[in-house]
Amino acid sequence: MTAGIIAEYNIFHNGHKYMIDEVKRRCDHVVVVMSGSFVQRGDAAVTDKWTRARTALTYGADLVLELPVCYALNAARSFAEGGVNTLNALSVTDTLAFGSESGDIDALYKTALGLENEEPSVSETVRSYMSDGMSYPSALAKAHGDNAILSRPNNILAVEYIRALIRSGSKMSPFTIRRTGAEHDGSAASEKYASGARIREMISRGEDISRFIPYRTDEIDGALGYDISRLDCAAALLRTASPDALREINEVSEGLENRIIRAAAEYGSFAEICEGVKSKRYTMSRIRRVIIGALIGFTKDIYSPQPEYIRVLGMNKNGMDILREAKKKCPVPIIVKTADHRENSRMFRLDVRATDVFAITSPDPRKRIGGADFTTPPIIIN
């Protein structure tokens, strides 16, 4: 049996290893669909995608695919939809595994069905809360009677995975593993587990993270410490952008383009611009995604619920066998060597731009050049 996991591994830590180990107790092989250069919270990944792919392969994954940036840099529903449909297109995974605070697949499935069959009155209540300045996640949970499932971030994403399975008629069956150790994005830590957010904060302060990761930091020396603050050039681009152009950027609506233009004129750094745009209505993650989207040219018309290709970041021998079988069924091109790919896909070109912009966030000036997608081969683990 082959399991699929949709992940970011930003940074790969003991909790991720625990989940892969648990999945492999039930399944023979694991295929990971992983965010590439930018992540769902609207940030540059702390390490590049090939380093993260190598780590995932070292600690149990058999095949690592890139989640196109039009899904990775998007709201939870689109993130989940893109990941599920990538695995659907691969046609070789039997189950979708994901973590949750609940650990109760029946409760998660019931909540997913409720959202899929949401009454018009509930949808109107969600819109009403949002018009009062409430963010969508908070409005959704409140409109559904302060549903405890919808109050926790991993539960919310788990529900979106199940909804994506339902909408797509996927053959994959869902199963969940209860999150262990630290809370998602929490500041607390146990002896061996800490959230990705806590570990990234420690990295930024130069603190020792060794007890929270299953490898030595010198194994990824030179690939750690990518930082979105190096994209302060965003101010220059946004000051020259027109409202019409910004209106076409993904997730921009209801005059958000005007707030962005005003903030860009007043502030000079990525972080300050995001703070200047912030309001009760828009989560900081959404604002950050929009700013990055403007930098890489992520317009609304690029998004499609169905991936236009599958991009391989790395594999082991089992992964090669999985890929060989997938090629018999996959309805879209499978890209192993990017330099050989010549399809005229806007989704693919967006990924290339994202990698080139991400390179600027590197701590190593020598790695800030463009073109890495065409010069870096997939990772092969024997």
């233009």: which residue's tokens?
Answer: 261
Q: Would the pTM count as exceeding 0.85? A: yes
**pLDDT score of 229 more than 60:** yes
Q: How far apart are the first and last CA of the chain?
A: 21
Instruction: Quick: pLDDT tens for 68-109.
Output: 999 999 999 999 999 999 999 999 999 999 999 989 999 999
Residue 183: its pLDDT value, please?
53
CATH code for the structural domain at 2-102+152-226+308-380: 3.40.50.620
CB atoms within 10 A of CB 340: 8
More confident residue, 146 or 355: 355
Instruction: Quick: pLDDT tens for 306-335.
Output: 999 999 999 999 999 999 999 999 999 999
Query: In the chain, where do the E strands start and end?
Result: 2-7, 29-35, 38-39, 43-44, 63-67, 95-100, 173-178, 310-315, 334-335, 379-380
Predicted confidence band at 182 (pLDDT cuts at 50, 70, 90)?
low
Domain boundaries, the chain: 2-102+152-226+308-380, 229-302
Q: Are β-strands 29-35 and 2-7 bridged in parallel, bridged antiparallel, or unpaired? A: parallel
What values do phi and psi take at 306, rounded to 5?
Answer: -105, 130
The answer to whether 196 and 11 have CB atoms below 8 angstroms apart is yes
Residue 291: its pLDDT value, please?
96
Handedness of CA 296, 301, 302, 303 (dihedral sign): positive
Reported for 257-264, long-range contacts at CB under 8 A and 24+ positions apart, including other chains, are 260/290, 260/291, 260/294, 263/238, 264/234, 264/235, 264/238, 264/239
Instruction: Quick: pLDDT tens for 19-44.
Output: 999 999 999 999 999 999 999 999 99
Mean pLDDT score, 233-249 = 92
**pLDDT score of 186 more than 80:** no
**pLDDT score of 134 more than 80:** no
